[in-house]
Amino acid sequence: MSDGPILAVEGLTRVFGSGRHANLAVDRVDLAIRPGEVVALIGESGSGKTTVARMLLGLLPPTEGTVRYRGVDLDTLRRREGMRSYWRNVQAVFQDPFGSLNAFYSVRRCMLNAFKLFPRRPPRAERIARVREALDIVGLDVDDMLTKHPHQLSGGQRQRVMIARALVVQPGVLIADEPTSMIDASSRAAILNILLDLRTRLGLTVMFITHDIGMAYYTSDRLFIMHLGRIVEEGPADDIIRDPQHEYTKRLLADVPTLSREWIL
Ligand SMILES: Nc1ncnc2c1ncn2[C@@H]1O[C@H](COP(=O)(O)OP(=O)(O)O)[C@@H](O)[C@H]1O
Ligand SMILES: [Mg+2]
């Protein structure tokens, strides 16, 4: 099982609406992510990326197709252990960190809430220690942060708190849906580097979701190019950048003036 994918979808399909108004948002998507990989799902706005992410997270039922975590169907997992056990393993960071934070909660309270995913919470001292450790990993000043509220933080700090909150349950997989698209340009590289560092430091498997093929190339081993609900091309990042096969990939690349792994540093 260790050789198999940690997360895989097969024939994943989602239709919104019905009849004349049916919208095929995701159309028979297959993808498999191996443990420890960093992959990117790339496509323009409306191509179905977030819908794939929501199905991967078990937040939206597929119209057709399966999601498997370590070879086990999500429906089976849901029946057997409930979704909390899955969410301890697979966490997400979304594009709008303000929307994901409760304005009335301090950072400490927001972070401690993550332990609701455990059937038996660890003792308070351990919970606090893990919160501090997670805030430290994302490069925040721990003592300064704990009592702050969302409106007292910059966009970059808020997104770091959201990453820390995802880490506090010690997941194996992180899905990052446009994690820097609402962050000012000056903090973007730092946030991406923190996310990348998680693989090295924690052995995390990461899926980046982005409209930016440059960002995907910079961060990821393998790319999945999505267009109108379908994966039109996939492969090692270097191969795709050097020799794109699909017209849509070529178009995406034509929009990026220079592409090197150093461009963002
Ligand atoms: N909850 C929803 N109800 C109806 N249509 C939706 C819903 N969520 C997404 N869609 C539609 O599905 C398509 C894909 O959206 P989305 O997955 O958000 O794309 P992306 O994340 O790539 O921008 C779009 O046409 C969008 O309007
Ligand atoms: Mg989206």
* Residue 7 is assigned to a structural domain of this protein: no
The values of phi and psi at residue 255, to 5°, are -80, -10
The whole-number pLDDT of residue 258 equals 65
Burial of 67 (0-12, 13-18, 19+ CB in 10 A): buried
Nearest protein CA to atom 7 of ligand 1, as residue: 16
Dist CA 40 CA 175 (whole Å): 10
- Condensed to tens digits (0 to 9), the pLDDT of residues 81-101 reads 899 999 999 999 998 877 778
Nearest ligand 1 atom to alpha carbon 43: 22
CATH code of the domain covering residue 179: 3.40.50.300
DSSP 8-class letter at 148: -
> Counting beta carbons within 10 angstroms of the beta carbon of residue 80, is it exposed (0 to 12), middle (13 to 18) or buried (19 or more)?
exposed
Nearest CA to ligand 1 atom 5: 16
Ligand lying closest to the C-alpha of residue 52: 1
198: three-class secondary structure by DSSP = helix
Residue nearest to atom 26 of ligand 1 (CA): 46
Cα 62 to Cα 66: distance, rounded to the nearest angstrom = 8
User: What tens digit of pLDDT does each residue of 156-175 get?
Assistant: 999 999 999 999 999 999 99
**Would residue 195 count as lying in a domain?**
yes
Q: How far is the CA of 198 from the centre of ligand 2 (A)?
A: 23
Positions in the chain whose pLDDT score sits under 70: 1-2, 257-265
With a 6 A CB cut-off, is 25 part of the ligand 1 pocket? yes
Any atom of ligand 1 within 6 Å of the Cβ of 49: yes
Distance CA(123)–CA(116), nearest Å, equals: 13
Asked whether residue 196 is domain-assigned, the answer is: yes
Give the closest residue (by CA) to ligand 1 atom 14. 48
229 CA: nearest ligand 1 atom: 14
| Ligand 1 pocket, mutate which of 21, 51, 227 (most atoms under 8 A from CB) | 51
The residue whose CA is least distant from atom 18 of ligand 1 is 50
What's the domain range around 127?
A: 35-61+85-254
In this prediction the pTM is 0.94
Evaluate whether residue 30 is within a structural domain.
no
Rounded to the nearest whole angstrom, what is the distance from the C-alpha of residue 48 to the centroid of ligand 1? 6
User: Does residue 101 sit within a domain?
Assistant: yes
User: Is residue 210 one of the residues assigned to a domain?
Assistant: yes
Q: Does the residue 72 lie in any domain?
A: no
Cα–ligand 1 centroid distance for 216 (angstroms): 21
20, part of any domain: no
How many Å apart are CA 265 and CA 245, to the nearest integer?
28
Q: Which of 80, 82, 26 is nearest to 52 (CA)?
A: 26
| Domain count along the chain | 1
